[in-house]
């Protein structure tokens, strides 16, 4: 499973999404072969990735191919190509579906201890696409590594699924309580750091990172790509919006709806949430 930058560029041009292709002088796009996908921060020279906002500098692009909107202020380095596209997220959907569909499968989990697999079976839980560290406990009817709610609307308004190709990393001593859900990353991984505790009926969205010893109590909802700091506490039924950052040692009160970042050590509550101290 691989594709050249030239093949992807032709596909994007034929679909009408490609506005400009930026490549270093002398780059042979038929020789730049892409074999995987990753987030824009982690992507390497054999990966394709995308971003919602323009690249601040093409010279900082690490991916073999970056799909993004314009304008891009300068030219990329050799071997790193930028495709300036209309609706870059939808362009990425089409590229993944056309060239990397084989990645869109469930992978068997990797357990640090064989006893963890027995625990999952005994508790009637479902775990795929995950690396599960030592000392992790997974309670009854937990779902780990399922696809999240990633969709993009096409020109007619129809919802088109964004392929979910990432995984889940549960570091040592994480606890996931009954009926909780931890979604796999869209690109890259959803991560629960060492000692994080996830309460019953919690939903952890795609590409979330939960910090060390953070506590998510029952029915908490974490939107995609949000960040929960180390030792933070999120009380019952609070909702953290997509992309929001909760600082280390922060506290969010029960039933709160948090749509803006919360600083380290701050206490927030309410709907919409506001800072109490």
- Note if 206 is an active site residue: yes
Tell me how crowded residue 154 is: count the other CB atoms within 10 A of its CB: 12
Among the listed residues 80, 141, 175, 206, the single catalytic one is 206
Q: Which residues are catalytic?
A: 206
């Amino acid at each position: 499973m691989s594709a050249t930058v030239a093949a992807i560029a032709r596909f994007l041009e034929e679909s009408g999404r490609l506005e400009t292709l930026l490549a270093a002088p002398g780059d042979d796009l038929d020789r730049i072969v892409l074999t995987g996908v990753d987030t824009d921060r982690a992507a390497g020279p054999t990966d394709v990735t995308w971003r919602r906002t323009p690249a601040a500098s093409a010279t900082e692009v690490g991916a073999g191919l970056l799909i993004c909107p314009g304008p891009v202020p300068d030219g990329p380095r050799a071997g790193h190509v930028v495709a300036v596209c209309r609706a870059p997220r939808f362009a990425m959907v089409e590229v993944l579906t056309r060239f990397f569909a084989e990645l869109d499968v469930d992978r068997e989990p990797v357990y640090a201890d064989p006893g963890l697999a027995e625990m999952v079976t005994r508790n009637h839980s479902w775990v795929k696409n995950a690396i599960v560290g030592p000392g992790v406990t997974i309670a009854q009817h937990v779902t780990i590594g399922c696809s999240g709610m990633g969709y993009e609307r096409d020109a007619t308004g129809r919802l088109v699924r964004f392929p979910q190709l990432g995984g889940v990393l549960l570091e040592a001593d994480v606890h996931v309580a009954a009926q909780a859900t931890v979604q796999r990353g869209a690109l890259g991984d959803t991560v629960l750091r060492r000692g994080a505790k996830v309460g019953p009926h919690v939903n952890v969205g795609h590409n979330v990172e939960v910090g060390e010893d953070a506590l998510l109590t029952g029915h908490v909802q974490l939107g995609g790509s949000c960040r929960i700091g180390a030792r933070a506490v999120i009380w019952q039924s609070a909702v953290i919006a997509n992309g929001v950052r909760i600082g280390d040692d922060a506290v969010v009160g029960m039933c709160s709806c948090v749509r803006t970042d919360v600083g380290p050590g701050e206490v927030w509550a309410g709907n919409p949430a506001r800072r109490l101290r």
